[in-house]
């Protein structure tokens, strides 16, 4: 799950033409948090995962790779 989540987040961010820093600022987290999620060093909390899904207009299942 970790690796897939990081890949999905990175792809969604890039599809929205955002750098890690731009996304972090717009989403209200640190650049380090975004980098850690994308590199699978850390996982976002459940609340943050839900916020991410809403931000990118996808489901949590999509973020986790359990839905195509």
- Average pLDDT, integer, range 3-20: 95
Residue 5, pLDDT > 50, answer yes
Identify the pLDDT of residue 2: 46
Residue 48, pLDDT > 90, answer yes
What is each CA distance from 2 to 17, 26, 38, in whole angstroms?
Answer: 23, 23, 9
**Tokens of residue 35, six digits:** 């980098």
Displacement of CA 2 from its chain's centroid (Å):
11
For the chain, the 3-state helix, strand and coil shares in percent, each to the nearest 5, are 70, 0, 30
**pTM beyond 0.85:** yes
**Tokens of residue 43, six digits:** 């996982």
- pLDDT-derived band at 67 (thresholds 50, 70, 90) equals confident
- Average pLDDT, integer, range 34-52: 96
């Amino acid at each position: 799950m970790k690796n897939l989540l990081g890949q999905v987040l990175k792809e969604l961010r890039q599809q929205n033409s955002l750098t890690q820093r731009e996304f972090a600022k717009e989403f209200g987290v640190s650049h380090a948090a975004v980098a850690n999620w994308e590199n699978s060093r850390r996982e976002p909390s459940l609340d943050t995962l839900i916020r991410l899904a809403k931000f990118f207009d996808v489901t949590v299942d999509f973020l986790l790779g359990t839905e195509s």
